[in-house]
Amino acid sequence: MLEARGLCKSYGGRAVVADLSLTVGAGEIVGLLGPNGAGKSTTVAMLCGLVGADRGAVFVGSDASRLALDENAHAAKRRIGVVPQELSIYENLGAAANLELFGALYGMAGALLRERVAAALALVGLADRAGDKPQSFSGGMKRRLNIAAALVHDPDVLIFDEPTVGVDPQSRNAIFDNLESLRERGKALLYTTHYMEEAERLCDRVVIMDHGQVVASDTLAGLYKRLPAVETLELEVDGSVDLDALAHQPGIDRPTQDGTRLRAGVSDLGRTAPALLSWLAANGHAVHRISSGRAELEDVFLSLTGRQLRD
């Protein structure tokens, strides 16, 4: 449905995106993850046709009706819906009037437009607020209207640029339900986010970007397999732990400390946990609490890029 092939973009001689390729199939949600400055926004801008690529191409559609964005911009754009990170709606226009405007931009009019507006509002749970202005909406409702504005022309591909920023948990769950509903309808969804739990809940595949390049692209299961440690230990300890020395202990992977919180990957929980406790006691660190868990996508990201997602 959506394919980016070898995209490159530089600003002032600095490569922001370098040879980026990705695909999103029908009925699939692909997460695009990366820290600030990784090149996600430029990638999204190129996929939407907002910014021209220096090299590479973007294709939309299946084999039979495949369109190159740079050659058939208007036809390709008709198949793409964009949900910008910012609230891109007119606060002083009614909810339905907003959607009618955005539908009209895609050439829709009359009964078809009204039908599509009603369907989009129903999908995001705002059918009963069609005549109200967004300035009277809660933050979550505005976010849902922001999504509906991208759906009104019934695109095959939807690109979400961090659509849940500043949204309360209840509204976030409602948005997730909307996205899952769209996936069930066979839409191709590209989803950029800073939130690992969102990617873990929603995404079938994850593309991890850093310094303008794709450093990993796989299913969640595939990404977890890349980790040297599949379990994590989290301890509350006294004092500053010598992380270099700890990292050389058998079975310990990439220990980190944030205040009293010590975290490390372990390959064999049964053997490594007692050895770690002994090592800490021998080095004068009292342990107040210990817990274990499965490695998370955050650990995958840390393993691949050497930094936290929100660095």
Binder of other proteins out of 57, 70, 78, 230 (CB under 8 A): 78
* Residue 36 binding other proteins, by CB under 8 A: yes
Binder of other proteins out of 90, 176, 224, 279 (CB under 8 A): 90
DSSP 209-256: EETTEEEEEEEHHHHHHT-S-SEEEEEEESS---HHHHHTSTTEEEEE
User: Do the Cβ atoms of 26 and 157 come closer than 8 Å?
Assistant: no
User: Do the Cβ atoms of 17 and 8 come closer than 8 Å?
Assistant: yes
* Residue 194 binding other proteins, by CB under 8 A: no
Based on CB atoms, which residue is closest to other proteins, 79 or 285? 79
**55 CB neighbour count, 10 Å cutoff:** 13
Burial of 9 (0-12, 13-18, 19+ CB in 10 A): buried
* Residue 39 binding other proteins, by CB under 8 A: yes
User: Do the Cβ atoms of 2 and 205 come closer than 8 Å?
Assistant: no
Given the rule CB under 8 A, which of 76-84, 116-124, 173-181, 240-248 is the region that contacts other proteins? 76-84
Closest approach of other proteins to the CB of residue 280, in Å: 41
**Mask of contacts with other proteins, 129-168, x by CB under 8 A?**
--------------------xx------------------
| Strand 188-193 with 252-258, pairing | unpaired
Binder of other proteins out of 55, 73, 170, 292 (CB under 8 A): 73
Q: Which of 225, 268, 237 is nearest to 250 (CA)?
A: 268
Based on CB atoms, which residue is closest to other proteins, 34 or 255? 34
In sequence order, what are the beta bridge partners of 161? 192
Closest approach of other proteins to the CB of residue 158, in Å: 11
- Which residues of the chain form contacts with other proteins (CB under 8 A)? 11, 16, 36-37, 39, 41-42, 45, 48-52, 73-75, 77-78, 80, 82, 84-90, 92-93, 97, 100-102, 104-109, 149-150
